[in-house]
Chain A
Amino acid sequence: MTYDAPIFDTLTSFFEHNCYLHFLEVEHLPTKVFNSLVGVLSKCKTSRLQRLRILDVDSVEDEEKANFFDSLQGLHSLESLYLRSFEIGMKGCTALSKLLNSLSSNITSLHLDSDNLDDACIAILSNAFIRNKKLKMLNLGDNDSNCNRLGHLLGSVISPQLLARISFATSYKYLRRRYFLLGGSIGRQQIVEVFGPRVQLFHLNNGMERI
């Protein structure tokens, strides 16, 4: 039997009043506990949470994941969102896109690691990536994707708007550099061909290579 007390309900006051709480990491949460986290995030808009890591919560339904992204709306302090094995479906991706395109969102670092994104999800997210002006780091590592899926994404990413932003970014090399983390299905050469020398640093398969 799984122990699944909604402990985040008890922690509401901690999230509301602890202005030092900047980092939260949860792993393998059962559905009930995950939903209690969503409830707290929805309520505590005064939280100063900057980095949120959600690991391996694949048992949670897509609709509940969509609720999770909705709960992050208005959380102005959040800068980094790390989702590993989160397995987002269409509803989740739509909610994530809405979050990324929200004016109140300040997310600059997004990790969608091992999330089994399918073509439809990639298409939804691609549009969000194009419109989003704040993301500086995007991790799509280990998505079990074939070249078509990531190719679709890359095709979207290299829109004229983003190229302009990359070009702008290079004049502030270190402070404004954009990072892209891609899985092993895209080769280094292919990245060079797509992006050219403008973006200097990529993470490939968790390694770091200068191009």
Chain B
Amino acid sequence: MWCTERRLKRREQLLHQFNANPIHINLILIHPKSIPYPTLTTPLTLLSAFEMDEEDGARARDGRLNEDTLVRLQHNDPDITYLVLDAATWIKGAGRTIADSRVLRRIYIDVRNDDEDHKWLHELCLGLAFHNRAIDSLSLWWRTCTYDI
């Protein structure tokens, strides 16, 4: 795994190459940690980034919240850039930590009708509304559960 310094240096190199010479690059695969979207400017880049979303979404399903990730979030660990949040894995009080994170870039919120209560969602939204100014991608999956009788 790269250390932060090496990652930043590599990011700068990639950006320099890409912005200087966009015509010669057909497809650039962008890891969610590597290049933030604001720096991507050409239509081609936006298209490529867009196509990565499906894979990112699949990968993100592994990024569930647990006590370890919460502690790492509190310490702004740069490896925690995305989280999948749902009622099953919610930790009471996590809303403020998530909202205060300066490294978290993407969150995927998984809401289910059959969750016993949705206080966790309210806590999360309040935190985001009043404290978070860093997240660049928000996904909200609203799932309706049906049962066979």
Q: Is the pairing of A and B real? A: yes
Q: Which residues of A contact B (CB under 8 A)?
A: 1-3, 5, 7, 10-14, 17-30, 33, 50-51, 53, 79-80, 108-109, 136-137, 173-175, 179
Contacts of A51 in B (CB 8 A): 46, 50
User: Given A27-B142, A29-B142 in contact, is the A21-B23 Cβ separation under 8 Å?
Assistant: no
Tell me whether B37 and A108 are in contact (CB under 8 A). Answer: no
Tell me whether B113 and A20 are in contact (CB under 8 A). Answer: no
Contacts of A79 in B (CB 8 A): 46
Tell me whether A136 and B43 are in contact (CB under 8 A). Answer: yes
Q: Which residues of B contact A (CB under 8 A)?
A: 22-23, 26, 36-38, 42-44, 46-47, 50, 53, 106, 111, 113, 115, 118, 121-122, 125-126, 128-130, 132-144
User: Given A2-B113, A12-B129, A137-B47 in contact, is the A26-B42 Cβ separation under 8 Å?
Assistant: no
User: Given A5-B118, A10-B122 in contact, is the A80-B133 Cβ separation under 8 Å?
Assistant: no
For A13, give its contact among B43, B130, B138, B141 (CB under 8 Å).
B130
Least CB separation from A82: chain B residue:
B50
Q: How many angstroms from the CA of A30 to the CA of B38 in the assembled complex?
A: 31
Contacts of B42 in A (CB 8 A): 175
Binding site secondary structure of chain B: mixed
Tell me whether B142 and A28 are in contact (CB under 8 A). Answer: yes
User: Given A7-B121, A28-B143, A137-B47 in contact, is the A174-B26 Cβ separation under 8 Å?
Assistant: yes
How far in angstroms is the closest Cβ of chain A from B98? 12
Binding site secondary structure of chain A: mixed
Q: A3-B118, A21-B137, A173-B23 are in contact. List 18 more A-B contacts (CB 8 A).
A: A1-B113, A3-B113, A3-B115, A7-B122, A19-B133, A21-B138, A22-B136, A22-B137, A23-B136, A23-B137, A25-B139, A26-B140, A28-B142, A28-B143, A33-B142, A80-B50, A108-B46, A174-B44
Q: How many angstroms from the CA of A27 to the CA of B106 in the assembled complex?
A: 16
How far in angstroms is the closest Cβ of chain A from B77? 19
Contacts of B138 in A (CB 8 A): 21, 23-25
Tell me whether A18 and B133 are in contact (CB under 8 A). Answer: yes
28 pairs, CB–CB < 8 Å, chain A vs chain B: A1-B113, A5-B118, A7-B125, A10-B122, A10-B126, A10-B129, A14-B128, A14-B132, A18-B134, A20-B38, A21-B136, A21-B138, A23-B37, A23-B136, A25-B137, A25-B138, A26-B142, A27-B139, A27-B142, A29-B140, A29-B142, A50-B37, A79-B46, A108-B46, A136-B43, A174-B23, A174-B26, A175-B44
For B47, give its contact among A2, A12, A109 (CB under 8 Å).
A109
How far in angstroms is the closest Cβ of chain B from A181? 11
Contacts of B132 in A (CB 8 A): 14, 18
Contacts of B115 in A (CB 8 A): 3
For A20, give its contact among B122, B125, B133, B143 (CB under 8 Å).
B133
Least CB separation from B125: chain A residue:
A10
The 6 A-B pairs at the shortest CB distance, nearest first, are namely A23-B137, A25-B139, A10-B125, A13-B129, A28-B142, A20-B136
Tell me whether A175 and B38 are in contact (CB under 8 A). Answer: no
How far in angstroms is the closest Cβ of chain B from A3? 5
User: Given A5-B118, A5-B122, A80-B46 in contact, is the A27-B141 Cβ separation under 8 Å?
Assistant: yes
Q: How many angstroms from the CA of A10 to the CA of B106 in the assembled complex?
A: 19
User: Given A2-B144, A27-B140, A28-B143 in contact, is the A108-B133 Cβ separation under 8 Å?
Assistant: no
